Amino acid sequence: MAEPMLTVTDLRLGFAAGRRTLAAVDGISFTIAKGETFALLGESGCGKSVTAQGILRLLPAAGRVLGGSVGLNGAELLALPEAAMREYRGGRMAMIFQEPATSLNPVLTVGRQIGEVLERHRGLSGEPARARMLELLRQVGIADPERRLDEYPFQLSGGMKQRVMIAVALAGEPELLIADEPTTALDVTVQAQILDLLAGLQAERGMGMLLITHDLGVVARMAHRIGVMYAGELVEVASRADFFAVPRGERDALGVRHPYTQALFAALPEVARRGQKLVTIPGQVPSLAAMPGGCRFAERCPQVMAVCREQSPPWREVAAGHAVRCHWQGAAAVDASVRHAVTELDLEPGRAFLEVADLKVHFPIRKGILQRTVGHVRAVDGVSLAIAPGRTLALVGESGCGKTTVGKALLQLIAPSGGSVRLAGNELVGLAGRRLRAARRHMQMVFQDPFASLNPRLRVGEIIAEGMGALGLERERAAQAAAVLALLQQVGLPAEAAERFPHEFSGGQRQRIAIARALAVQPELLICDEPTSALDVSVQAQILNLLKALQAELGVAYLFITHNFAVVEYLAHDVAVMYLGRIVERGRAEEVLRTPRHPYTRALLSAVPVPRLEGGEQRIRLPGETPSPANPPGGCHFHPRCPQATDICRQNYPESTVLSETHSVACHWPG
């Protein structure tokens, strides 16, 4: 192994809470060599981001360094005065933060933000600095860098903001790059571009990289070595090959891994588990104030023994470079017997409950003092789809393609510009007042961010009962209270949750509350807008199990808006692929995912990072960004990015080609 560039030894970090200091990172040690990527993997609350902040000495005001050492090429960072540390931070070490929208300064141009780093750490200003800025933006794949330098962050897409954040980090030419969940909220195509960019720059510059993530697919694509973190401690360290290896002849085995690592793998949704209940990890990561004395995973572990609750386990080497911190020495703590099978709903498509025909949502573009309409943003431009009772239709595509607008237009939260939405044969477009409220009882929406969509001033019981009162389902207070308790039980929350406020719950629990609120009015259709996009795999498994169980029990239909293809494979019966306001391919899940016929669908599927060692699958790289819906390209909207576009694609939008009774594609060259 190469000489380590970064050496973290017995690092302990904590937070002051009154007169106590609570340890958030408790004695972790690892090294990173030049040109190597070390991935820190684990659930939210395990201490991954605190570790990164501690290395850079960017802990918040209550943060404390309690012990240990951090060495970068022989220099002890924790002993440096702050003035000297500023020379390292941004220069020899840099960080890409999880949310570029909040870490870029909204009142400074892109050029000003990159220029600050160049001036501070490279001594560049004026024309040489501008030339270097342009070079950096080209390096991170931003088209038209001359114009982008003078733009502000709000004028950029999510993927472009993340690229600017990378350019800012790389401006100081760091030896070590820390990437904290750099692709969490990005589409699979943009995520693939960002990961390729980081891997290419790392190879070119020989940078070391600390990658913080909870996405096993990203780990499989990027990491050389992996450290699994739980409750402030490392519990497993292995090379990429050992971490993702499956023992020969043991198709369902999970290898010699820590029970926590095994549970993370078992919680992954994939097509092989469509008829099964996903494994979930009971309970939550212990709070800093209530860390157990023995093994910190003991209360959630399926293999817990008496010694686990009494003694903290020692490190045990299971192979060269592969160590596990666990008392139990079995091979597969989570086996097939844990995965309780549930009945697979596989209804034949009959009469559709929801029928959407040629739905359009166009937003006017107004300019001038008189606010004259000078054009339209064609967010949804002729979408047709149908959902039968008890089935799940997944609507997939990149950000900005119009998926969420479709969901809101179905509920008439946004007024459609044209088309038809029929619910159980009744037209919704044009309804208002009492008639629209009555129709909304039959379909409800679960939003992407439950914290933003739940009223922070109301107790959970009041939030759930609000819809019942508004739609006149349960007017009696006693009947409402009984219904609320029944709903909480249905979504797996205790009765006392009714008296608490949303901020007292975890992300997964808040999403359960949002689902209970939607179910309170007994809808036949739930529109789920990215309900698991920001959740850990273990919490995601709980929500997917809940949705599947509710569908089996209540026969509710789902429109599932997502860009997570693992979730689509596990949950969806039918799939519709959307690009720039239009459906380009639709069919049963197995048809679209196994035999995709539109070039865009094939590109999306090829970009999905898989949580295993890749075997040589060819990835299709899409050039450029999604065009603006205010000015879509002529002909087929996808032709500027399509690898097989011809003259007819540039001239005419393709008609829908029927490939089977359930599978169709809008392409001049299907397949």
Q: Any idea what the CATH number is for the domain that residue 562 is in?
A: 3.40.50.300
Q: How far is CA 510 from CA 269, 400, 454, 500, 543, in A?
A: 21, 26, 8, 11, 11
Instruction: Note the pLDDT tens digit of each residue in 349-372.
Output: 456 889 999 999 999 988 888 888
pLDDT greater than 80 at residue 249:
no
The closest of 242, 241, 188 to 218, measured between CA atoms, is 188
To 10 degrees, the CA torsion angle through 530, 536, 538, 544?
Answer: 0
Rounded average pLDDT over 467-488? 83
If pLDDT is split at 50, 70 and 90, which confidence band does 346 have?
Answer: very low
Give CA–CA dist 624/633, Å, rounded.
13
Q: Is 185 among the domain residues? A: no
Q: Which residues share a beta bridge with 446? A: 528
Q: Where are the alpha helices (DSSP H) in 454-492?
A: 460-470, 477-490
Q: Which of 122, 156, 173 is the last residue of a domain?
A: 173
Instruction: Note the pLDDT tens digit of each residue in 579-610.
Output: 999 999 999 999 999 999 999 999 999 888 88
The reported pLDDT for the residue numbered 449 is: 77
- Percentage of the chain lying above the pLDDT 90 cut: 54
Q: Is 318 among the domain residues? A: yes
Instruction: Note the pLDDT tens digit of each residue in 206-215.
Output: 999 999 988 8
Q: Is 401 among the domain residues? A: yes
> Are residue 554 and residue 580 in the same domain, yes or no?
yes
Is 345 in a helix, a strand, or coil?
A: coil
Rounded average pLDDT over 4-31? 94
Q: Which residues share a beta bridge with 178? A: 95, 210
Q: Is 465 among the domain residues? A: no
> Are residue 436 and residue 559 in the same domain, yes or no?
yes
The reported pLDDT for the residue numbered 588 is: 95
Instruction: Note the pLDDT tens digit of each residue in 619-632.
Output: 788 877 778 888 89
Q: Is 362 among the domain residues? A: yes
Question: Cα 664 to the chain's mean position, in Å?
Answer: 29
Q: Which of 173, 192, 227 is the last residue of a domain?
A: 173
Q: What is the CA radius of gyration of the chain?
A: 26
Is 669 in a helix, a strand, or coil?
A: coil
Tokens (6 digits) for 61? 């005001």
Specify the number of domains making up the chain: 3
φ, ψ of residue 18 in degrees (nearest 5) = 65, -125
Domain span at residue 406 reads 354-442+523-666
Give CA–CA dist 269/544, Å, rounded.
8
Instruction: Tell the burial category of 227 from Cβ atoms under 10 Å away from its Cβ (0-12, 13-18, 19+).
Output: buried
The reported pLDDT for the residue numbered 3 is: 81
The reported pLDDT for the residue numbered 98 is: 77
Instruction: Note the pLDDT tens digit of each residue in 269-291.
Output: 876 666 678 888 888 788 888 89
The closest of 169, 173, 13 to 78, measured between CA atoms, is 13
> Are residue 302 and residue 359 in the same domain, yes or no?
no
> Are residue 312 and residue 372 in the same domain, yes or no?
no
Give CA–CA dist 649/383, Å, rounded.
20
Question: Cα 569 to the chain's mean position, in Å?
Answer: 16
The closest of 569, 556, 552 to 342, measured between CA atoms, is 552
Most confidently modeled of 191-195, 220-224, 364-368, 503-507?
220-224
> Are residue 419 and residue 528 in the same domain, yes or no?
yes
* SS3 assignment for 33-72: ECCCEEEEECCCCCCHHHHHHHHHCCCCCCEEEEEEEEEE
Tokens (6 digits) for 516? 């209970």
The closest of 462, 413, 457 to 439, measured between CA atoms, is 413
Q: Is 583 among the domain residues? A: yes
- Percentage of the chain lying above the pLDDT 70 cut: 92
Q: Which residue has the higher pLDDT, 583 or 337?
A: 583
> Are residue 556 and residue 609 in the same domain, yes or no?
yes
Q: Which of 128, 157, 173 is the last residue of a domain?
A: 173
Rounded average pLDDT over 401-427? 93
Q: Is 317 among the domain residues? A: yes
| CA dihedral (466, 468, 469, 475) positive or negative | negative
pLDDT greater than 70 at residue 671:
no
> Are residue 435 and residue 532 in the same domain, yes or no?
yes
> Are residue 326 and residue 418 in the same domain, yes or no?
no
Contact 309/294 with Cβ under 8 angstroms? Answer: yes
> Are residue 529 and residue 573 in the same domain, yes or no?
yes
> Are residue 577 and residue 651 in the same domain, yes or no?
yes
Instruction: Note the pLDDT tens digit of each residue in 522-556.
Output: 899 999 998 887 678 888 888 898 899 889 988 99
Rounded average pLDDT over 421-440? 89
Give CA–CA dist 138/125, Å, rounded.
19
> Are residue 534 and residue 433 in the same domain, yes or no?
yes
Please report the DSSP string for 283-300 in residue order: S-PPPGGG--SS-TTGGG
Is 182 in a helix, a strand, or coil?
A: coil
The closest of 465, 454, 450 to 498, measured between CA atoms, is 465
Q: Is 157 among the domain residues? A: yes
> Are residue 409 and residue 367 in the same domain, yes or no?
yes
The reported pLDDT for the residue numbered 207 is: 93
Q: Which of 75-79, 139-143, 163-167, 661-665 shows the lowest per-residue confidence on average (mean pLDDT)? A: 139-143
